Structure formats: C-alpha cells, structure tokens
Amino acid sequence: MLYQTPLLKIHSLSEITGCDIYGKAEFLNVGGSVKDRAAHGIIEQAERDGLLKPGGTIVEGTAGNTGIGLATLAAQRGYKSVIVMPNNQAAEKYQTLNALGVELITVAPCPFADQNHFYHTARRIAEERGAFWANQFENTANFQSHYKTTGPEIWNQTEGKVTAFAAAAGTGGTIAGVSRFLKEKNPNIHIRLVDPMGSGLYSYLTTGEIKSTGSSITEGIGIMRLTANFKEAQIDDAVQVNDGEMISMLYHLAQHDGLLVGTSAALNVYAAYKYALANKGKNLVIATVLCDSALRYTSKIFNDTFLKEKNLIPQKIESI
C-alpha cells in the first residue's frame, strides 16, 4: 500500500474562518479509504506472528471499508477473504466486495450484545473454519499502523505546524494512532473526537457514561463501547455532529471545493470547521481525515428520494 496521501487545503472554509483547514485525502488509497492502513497493519502483523500463512483465509466483520481494504490486500497476496456486513450499508460497498471475489455474508443490524451482530458472526466463522480473524476493533495493530504512518505524514506535511486534529471513531484506530504521535511531538496539539448521533463516545467523554441519542446515516463510525484501539487515544474534547450538518458540509465541499467526500469525511470536516470558527482569525492549522469518497455512497447521498425520506436538505454552511 502506498500511503503518503495528499493533505488538501480546504480553501472555502479556510477563507471563512481565517484558519488553515486541511483534509487528508484517504480516498486516494488503493482500496479507496483510510481503512487500508488498518488492513495493512493487521495483515502484516498477522504474517509476522505466523497467524496468516500462504493460502490462508481472512475473516472480518465490517461496515465495508475495512473489508474492502482487507480484500484488496488478500487479492494481492493470495489469501481468501470472508467479509461479514450488516445488510443496510450502501450498495456500492457490496458491489466492490463482490468484484474483489470475497465470500460476502450479510446479517441484520442489531445491538453489539446480540450474538448475531456482524462482529460476533465473523468471530464464530473464523473459529469454525480455523481462519484468521482480523478483529479490527480490538487488534491494536490497527492504531499502531496510524501511529507509524498517518500521524507522521500529517506532522511532516504541515511542517510541524499542525495545531489541532479532528476525527470520528469507528474502531478508534485512526484517532488513537494519530493523537498519540502528534501529542508526542507537541502535547499542546488539540485533539477533537467527532461523534455522529446514535454513538456513545461523546457522552462517555463528556459525562463518563456511554449513552446515545438519535441516529445517523453515516456508515462505519460511532460505537457504544470502548475498544482496545480507542483506549489508546489521547483526546482533549468531543463534539457531536448531526446528519443535517454533515450533509450540508458534504454538498458544500462538492460545490465549493470540488471535493466529493463520504459521510464520515463530511462529519470530520464540519467539526474541524466549527473548531476553526470558535478560533476565528487565530491562524490555526487544523487537520482532519477525508476517510473515503462520496462515490462509495451515491445510491444514498445523491439520491433525492433517500434524502427527502430522511428529511435531509443541504443548507448553506454559513447559515447553519
């Protein structure tokens, strides 16, 4: 995997806020998302540990992007892959996985405590088949990959001038790895967790209790438990972003910056923008992650019928 993805200045928002806002273009990774980094780290660690051998099988439960990253590497390295997903994700993800030749298993969405959850289903399948279970949520090779690559890339690309970093958590790997690296370089760098509605991390960081309210159309982010990866994160504050704010930012980036980003990326950028507004004119350097492309969700986010059903009408960013 090639990494060294560009750090793109988001000119429209930087001009509004008087701060430099940058997005790391992770949609340019080979598998199309930030999850390529976790997949690469997990597979290489498993190979070093002898858990994954030539001709072996990788099993994972995922909302899609980690599965795509794993399947891409599996195809390159001669492994088979079995991917378990909830059946309510964007159609483009299933189509991509089928093209990669995976064995795709879909299950009904359910709470994590339910043994039919995609996470537990993947674990059982790996055990039954004697296959390697990637276990992206608890496998700390995930956050280590970001500590070794994403964090240093952001530091170097900003010439050490980064003053804040904002990111959502799905497994917690990205925010954990990046925050630990950046804090080692400069403890004063502000780390902001971005949480969608329906996730419990914002509540945990602000009240100490994992609770959720509402729901979100974002995919692959937000959790109701503390994973081994998330526990490694060094976070200064947390913010919730609702779907209306997210979809407005998604369309703003498309129409004003020519950036077609996915839902989690739009969520991240909105939180970076709000932090910049709160520090307007202070010349901060704020980095975030453009996790994947809007083209992975076109059947939803560019579908007027879907948006109307969800009562999501993009607004001008300045008016939110």
User: Catalytic amino acids?
Assistant: 35
What order of strands is seen across the sheet that includes strand 7-9? 7-9, 20-25, 285-290, 164-168, 190-196, 237-241
What's the CA gap between 187 and 163, in Å, rounded? 10
**What is the distance in angstroms between the CA of the first residue and the CA of the last residue of the chain?**
39
Contact 69, 145 (CB under 8 A): no
Cα-based distances in Å from 125 to 103, 105, 131, 270, 272: 12, 10, 8, 38, 39
Task: Assess contact for 266 and 194: CB atoms under 8 A.
Answer: no
Which among 201, 185, 183 has a CA at the least distance from the CA of 193? Answer: 201
DSSP 33: B
Total Cβ atoms within 10 A of residue 59: 26
Q: Beta 190-196 vs 237-241: how paired, if at all?
A: parallel
Cβ atoms 57, 133 nearer than 8 A: no
What does the angle CA 22 – CA 173 – CA 249 come to, to the nearest 5 degrees? 35
Q: How far apart are CA 287 and CA 276, in angstroms?
A: 11
Dist CA 191 CA 188 (whole Å): 9
Exposed / middle / buried, residue 121 (Cβ in 10 Å: 0-12, 13-18, 19+): buried
